[in-house]
Amino acid sequence: MIESRLLEIPEMSAWLKENGACVSGRILLKDDAHLPIAGSVKARGGIHEVLKIAEQLAFKAKILHPTDKYDKIDSEEFRQFYSQYTIQAGSTGNLGLSIGIMGASLGFHVIVHMSREAKEWKKALLREKGVTVLEYDGDYSHAVAEGRASSAKDPHSFFIDDENSEDLFFGYATAGMRLKMQLYKAGVNVDSDHPLFVYLPCGVGGAPGGITYGLKQMFGDNVHCFFVEPVQHPCMLLGLSSGKYEEISVEDIGLGAPTVADGLAVGRPSALVSKMMRPLLSGCFTVKDEHLFIWMKVMYEKEHLFLEPPACAGFQGLTQIENPDSICRQYLENHHLTEKMQSATHIIWATGGGLIPSTEQTRLLTL
């Protein structure tokens, strides 16, 4: 079971309100930055897909049966077996960490194709675990394309495709059911008089898309999911609003400059996820790097929780949703929500930062 806490953030909420956020209702934070093993939301999708590959290989070789205790795969015998196989992925950093840490510990040979945004400490940590890290000067799509091509040449290699994988997607989607239980235990109602708003940082769309899909299965029209993207990389916003999905890139409209939000620096959305989001997603916000830094620092000071900059993107949605000058007003009116905002619940989905070494933490907090 890989799950994170649902937290109250009273000090941060007070600070946001003092600093101009007009938001009524209850504010909670979903701490996926501290998910076990990978320290980011990628633990949900990446580990699910690695385990599924491991399970299917073992079934096929008849060394594991559905009725067995699965802890037997954590053994030298199984590591020997998995060492015949390779798992590859393209990543801006965190997906590589998730797949690399999990894959290597089961005995797989793992190759991570890293885009130019990937942080040095993420590459170093993976190499320490025996993962092969290949670095490219290109962007995220380039790293994914390299990984896909390299994997296609090797019949014993599996490619975890962040742009198209259903297994990743469904790994993320389990969050919906789990959150429903957590809200129930916390005494939070979600129904037509008590709407739920969820703000999710978005890169290629797999993680926030899978979570949105899961939440929609649980709460239907009573949950309103919004993605947040860097102003220079609004790939989902562009793909959905133009109707061109993965066929348009942020470079096509003159954007794509570097951002501190490494995990969100993606030029085109997932083909699979962008099409699935069309009827489900309520909207997309964009956020500037300078705000990510401020929220990261205030979260650390006020709530003693360290999040990496992209993981703070959700706060953008929270600060805008009830802003009378924002287009959000129209959304609330159209959905007859204006009167219900006092009894709404807002969830900031914090997506990464749990594995950041303390020296890097200090560097980011003092920039």
Q: Residue 348: name the closest of 299, 302, 301 by CA.
A: 299
Whether the CA torsion 173, 177, 181, 184 is positive or negative: it is positive
User: What is the size of the binding site for ligand PLP (CB under 6 A)?
Assistant: 19
Binder of ligand PLP out of 176, 230, 310, 354 (CB under 6 A): 310
- From CA 117, how far away is CA 143, in angstroms rounded? 11
- Give the one residue of 207, 211, 218, 237 binding ligand PLP; rule: CB under 6 A: 207
* Residue 237 interacts with ligand PLP (CB under 6 A): yes or no: no
39 binds ligand PLP (CB under 6 A): no
| Residue 103 C-beta: closest distance to ligand PLP, Å | 17
Give the residue, chosen from 107, 176, 195, 201, that forms a contact with ligand PLP under the rule CB under 6 A. 201
The Cα-based distances of 156 to 48, 53, 98, 159, 178 in angstroms read 19, 12, 20, 10, 34
Q: Does 205 bind ligand PLP (CB under 6 A)?
A: yes
| Binds ligand PLP by CB under 6 A, chosen from 4, 13, 88, 94 | 94
DSSP bridge partners of 225: 198
User: 25, 96, 147, 206: which one contacts ligand PLP (CB under 6 A)?
Assistant: 206
**Please, are residues 224 and 198 in contact by the beta-carbon 8 Å criterion?**
yes
How many CB atoms are located within 10 Å of the residue 235 CB?
32
Alpha carbon dihedral 99, 100, 102, 105, in 10-degree steps, equals 160
Q: Which is nearer to ligand PLP, 204 or 223 (CB)?
A: 204
CB 295 within 8 A of CB 9: no
Residue 112 binds ligand PLP, judged by CB under 6 A: no
Q: Which residues lie below 8 Å from residue 102, measured CB to CB, with a gap of 6+?
A: 37, 38, 46, 47, 50, 51
305 belongs to the binding site for ligand PLP (CB under 6 A) = no
**C-beta closer to ligand PLP: residue 212 or 344:** 212
Judged by beta carbon, residue 63 or residue 271, the one nearer ligand PLP is 271
Is residue 208 close enough to count as binding ligand PLP by CB under 6 A? yes
Binding site for ligand PLP (CB under 6 A): 40-42, 94, 201-208, 263-264, 308, 310-311, 351-352
